[in-house]
Amino acid sequence: MTDLLVPFTAPDTSARHFLVLEESPRRVRAFFAGTAVADSTRMKLLHESRRRPVYYFPLDDVRTDLLEPSDHTVDDEHKGAATYWHLRVRDRRTANAAFAFRSPPAGAPDLSSYLAFEWNALDAWFEEDDQVYGHARDPYHRVDVLPSSRHVEVSIDGETIAETRRPHLLFETGLPTRYYVPRLDVRMELLTPSAKRTVCPYKGTASYWSATIRGAAYPDIAWTYVHPIVECPKIENLISFFNEHLDITVDGERQERPNTIWSQREPDASRDTEEGDE
């Protein structure tokens, strides 16, 4: 059920901004220092333009006795001023972990009786008994993995590094098609394991590979899910590549390099990106 599904126009701007506060039937729990600081079957999910969804908990479902007032505030033109709290459990404390919008502007969802947490300030999140990584799951985000007999070639600077007629194609909401290739069809001697790891709430933890082609380094150009979550078992141990930074040919036709947030910058292990969403 949706509480609000209307365009919201921010003050002094003509840009249309969307805020949707939606009920969820899922039990959501958030843990810190081994304690469930929020546990709710009445959680609501806030969808917002150009932002990830956020879990909002009714105050009665939050351990407010563990919260300490903070003088930190943030003004949000669409949701109003955010009030923050520190979170303390026994001898552990995380600063500015919880926040609430007490006085949302007219036309915005009423968040005044709800509280949210900074994702990385807590230790673990669960939907029912399934742990969630990276950020809240969007129920409208879809991932489909389909086996294919299409002829896929992957090359960097004219050097073929993978070629297969048995790829798995991963179609994910808002992202370009990703081609997952069996390791036996990849020239693994050109790839070196990277220390980079990212997490995706829909697929699991990704490990990365860098390539060296004729002395040139291509850091973190490919990735694999060694142990994907149960919804995506078809990509287990297959390898995919950044379409944005190399050439992929499918059935003899060179694919256009997609324009995404990874197009204008090299993938590297020091950057905190959402590549786990790949």
Instruction: Kindly state whether residue 137 falls inside one of the protein's structural domains.
Output: no
Tell me the per-residue pLDDT of 39-91, one tens digit each, with 9 for 90 and over.
999 999 999 988 999 999 999 999 999 999 999 999 999 999 999 999 999 99
pLDDT > 90 fraction of the chain, expressed in percent and rounded: 78
Provide the pLDDT for residue 273. Answer: 37
Asked if residue 172 and residue 97 are part of one domain, the reply reads no
Strand order in the sheet with 168-172: 143-147, 168-172, 178-180
Tell me the per-residue pLDDT of 178-233, one tens digit each, with 9 for 90 and over.
999 999 999 999 999 999 999 999 999 999 999 999 999 999 999 999 989 887 88
Instruction: Kindly state whether residue 171 falls inside one of the protein's structural domains.
Output: yes
Provide the pLDDT for residue 109. Answer: 93
Asked if residue 191 and residue 106 are part of one domain, the reply reads no
What gap in Å lies between CA 160 and CA 171, rounded to an integer? 24
What gap in Å lies between CA 4 and CA 207, rounded to an integer? 39
Provide the pLDDT for residue 266. Answer: 52
Q: HSE-up of 184 (CA within 13 Å, CB side)?
A: 2
Token output for 75: 């003004």
Provide the pLDDT for residue 262. Answer: 84
Asked if residue 115 and residue 196 are part of one domain, the reply reads no
What gap in Å lies between CA 253 and CA 233, rounded to an integer? 28
What gap in Å lies between CA 131 and CA 145, rounded to an integer? 21
Residue 70 structural domain? 2-132
The partner residues of 31 in beta bridges, in order of sequence, read 36, 124
Which of 132, 166, 189 is the last residue in one of the domains? 132
When pLDDT is cut at 50, 70 and 90, the band that residue 265 belongs to is low
- Is the alpha carbon torsion for 192, 197, 198, 201 positive or negative? positive
Q: How many domains does the chain have?
A: 2
Which of 112, 132, 152 is the last residue in one of the domains? 132
Tell me the per-residue pLDDT of 137-192, one tens digit each, with 9 for 90 and over.
999 999 999 999 999 999 999 999 999 999 999 999 989 999 999 999 999 999 99
Provide the pLDDT for residue 120. Answer: 96
Return the number of other C-beta atoms located less than 10 Å from residue 273's C-beta.
15
Asked if residue 164 and residue 80 are part of one domain, the reply reads no
Asked if residue 122 and residue 167 are part of one domain, the reply reads no
Q: First vs last Cα of the chain: how many Å apart?
A: 29
What gap in Å lies between CA 37 and CA 142, rounded to an integer? 29
DSSP string, 17-68: EEEEEEE--S-EEEEETTEEEEEESS-EEEEETTEEEEEEEEGGGB-GGGEE
**Count of positions (residues) in the chain:** 278
In the predicted structure, residue 9 carries a pLDDT above the cut 80: no
Asked if residue 126 and residue 85 are part of one domain, the reply reads yes
pTM of this prediction exceeds 0.95: no
Asked if residue 263 and residue 172 are part of one domain, the reply reads yes
Instruction: Kindly state whether residue 138 falls inside one of the protein's structural domains.
Output: no
Q: Closest by alpha carbon to 277, among 82, 135, 122?
A: 135
Tell me the per-residue pLDDT of 95-145, one tens digit each, with 9 for 90 and over.
999 999 999 898 899 999 999 999 999 999 999 999 999 999 999 999 999
In the predicted structure, residue 275 carries a pLDDT above the cut 50: no
Token output for 246: 């190399």
In a 3-state reduction of DSSP, which class is residue 121? helix
The partner residues of 51 in beta bridges, in order of sequence, read 48
Asked if residue 263 and residue 165 are part of one domain, the reply reads yes
Asked if residue 164 and residue 70 are part of one domain, the reply reads no
Provide the pLDDT for residue 17. Answer: 84
In the predicted structure, residue 2 carries a pLDDT above the cut 50: no
- Mean predicted lDDT score pLDDT of the chain: 88
CATH number where 44 lies: 2.170.150.40
